[in-house]
Structure 1
Amino acid sequence: MDTLTVIVMLALFILLLGFIFSAGLMTPVIGKKNIFFVIFIGFIAGVIGGIFLISPVYDELPFIVRNIYMSTSDVNETITADVSAGKDILRFMDELSAQDGVEAVYSEGIFLKTDRFSESRKRIIEDKISLIDPNITSWQVHTNGTIILQVKKGHNPVRTLDTLSEWLMYTGGINTCYSAVHLVVTVRPDKVDSIVSYLQARDVVVTGIKGPAEEKAAAFKAALPDKSNIILFCGFLGMLTGIAGVFIDSIIAFIGKIRGREA
């Protein structure tokens, strides 16, 4: 939802309140007996306005606040993504690094899905994996064929993938069915959304966004009251607007008396 749409919907809700207020002003014509009807109409109209005009804006509020945080923050955000090894990963990393707003790109982990293997083969892999590539800092090996590796920052992940896949095949006849590289992208906050779109357009799975602006936006969203409460508030606001219209003469007279005393 763009800014113009938000302004239009808020303006329409204000116009709705104006209609409710006008209905309250009509009580001298329709009779004081209908005051409860005016209040009821004010509540119902307020609820309807809350559902159709305020709720959509309320749903967009976290995104609006997030954009404000992103545009005003000067601390970089971190995007994490999984890139299939079927891509030319090194070339992709170079192209990503060249995008406006990207401060750094590096690989942090590797995921492999292989044929299933025995418990004894698992122990062999765990014992030899650090010798296969000393840049592997930690690992998780599961007999269902799932292998998750952590590598040194900045290390070439393709080399590790190729070396480990070849070793698994030559020593145990284990095929690597699928592999992916976990990338970490440091981005200026005002360019986060454009980089996420860039990644998604290239079939890259974005696994997370972290940073001060993202955390503030998440905290703001968590602090927001439930939408049903906002709708009820709009109903009560409509009801109060109707009451104000009914008793506007008394309210003006009361304010006049207060000003007269102060004078």
Structure 2
Amino acid sequence: MPKKEIVLVLLVAFLVGSIGGAFFLDPIYDELPNFASMIEKNIPNNEETLYLDLSSSVNVKELRENLSATEGFKSFEETSVTIPLWSFNEQEQAYFEDIVGNIDSNYGNYTVNSTGEIEISLINNYSSADALKSFSDWYQLVYGGTLSYAQVHAVLVVDSSALDTFEQSLLSRGIVASHIEGSVQNSIEKTNSSMLSNTQFTVLCGCLGVVVAVLGIYIDSVVPAYRRFRKFLNEKRKR
């Protein structure tokens, strides 16, 4: 075959391989993390931990009851609340750092940022609703206003096999986990980190197309050479 025709055949093979990879194989390749996670989901006793950032308008008690009634539920814990106010100056920040701990004896550790956010840890199963009510009552008494918004942080632990069910249940309420930890998530992250990008995968498919084309072009010379090589090995063994 003339060299120009060989180059044309290889170019066409690369384009066909790339197009086939991009449109047919790439969607399957993208599903590899999900395929890998299916194994982890079916291993008994595997758990996933979902970190939730909830608006204070969410009925956390009702949410807890609904989640706990779902198969695969392990635990649900409210960990802290974040109350955004206004950007503090140094004097205001020092004031809130001194006073917050005296508002409610059930408050755990707390931090006051200069940006005006106060984060209060919840201890001894103290609910976010009670914590926010204490702060809201104090705030109204001192400043004569009401809190417009607050955020509740919670941790949900579920069976790995039921992760999809709980994610869908949360999504139906407009809630998406800010972070997930567990065997399934680790499997997805490891698979993603080892995968090629879509561009790299497409180029690889094009290169495989070139390899197939080369084998097709030179198959008539490769096969006899392979047979002679095998015959040589057999004769050498007999000796």
TM over 0.5: yes
1:233 corresponds to which of 204, 228, 234: 204
- Per mean C-alpha deviation after superposition, the further-off stretch among 51-60 and 182-191 is 51-60
* Conserved? CA contact 1:137–1:149, under 8 Å: yes
Is 1:135 paired with 2:106? yes
Q: Which residue type is aligned with residue 183 of structure 1?
A: A
Distance 2:79 2:51 in 1: 9
* Conserved? CA contact 1:111–1:146, under 8 Å: yes
Q: TM-score, normalised by structure 2?
A: 0.86
Deviation at 1:138, TM superposition (A): 1.9
Ranges in structure 2 where 5+ consecutive residues have no aligned partner: none
Aligned residue number for residue 40 of structure 2: 69
Alignment of 1:198-217 (within 5 A): 198-217=169-188
- Cα distance, 1:117–1:173 mapped onto 2, change above 3 Å: farther
Distance 1:109 1:73 in 2: 31
Is 1:146 paired with 2:117? yes
Is 1:178 paired with 2:149? yes
Aligned residue number for residue 111 of structure 1: 82
Equivalent residue of 2:36, what SS?
Answer: helix
Distance 2:7 2:116 in 1: 71
Deviation at 1:140, TM superposition (A): 2.4
Q: Which residue type is aligned with residue 243 of structure 1?
A: V
Deviation at 1:38, TM superposition (A): 2.0
Is 1:99 paired with 2:70? yes
Q: How many pairs are equivalent?
A: 232
Aligned residue number for residue 136 of structure 2: 165
Aligned residue number for residue 258 of structure 1: 229
- Cα distance, 1:44–1:144 mapped onto 2, change above 3 Å: closer
Q: Which has the higher helix share?
A: 1
Deviation at 1:219, TM superposition (A): 2.4
Distance 1:256 1:143 in 2: 79
Is 1:189 paired with 2:160? yes
Q: Percent identity?
A: 25
Equivalent residue of 1:176, what SS?
Answer: coil
Q: Which residue type is aligned with residue 125 of structure 2?
A: G
Distance 1:160 1:96 in 2: 22
- Cα distance, 1:136–1:205 mapped onto 2, change above 3 Å: farther
Distance 1:188 1:126 in 2: 39
Distance 2:196 2:173 in 1: 37
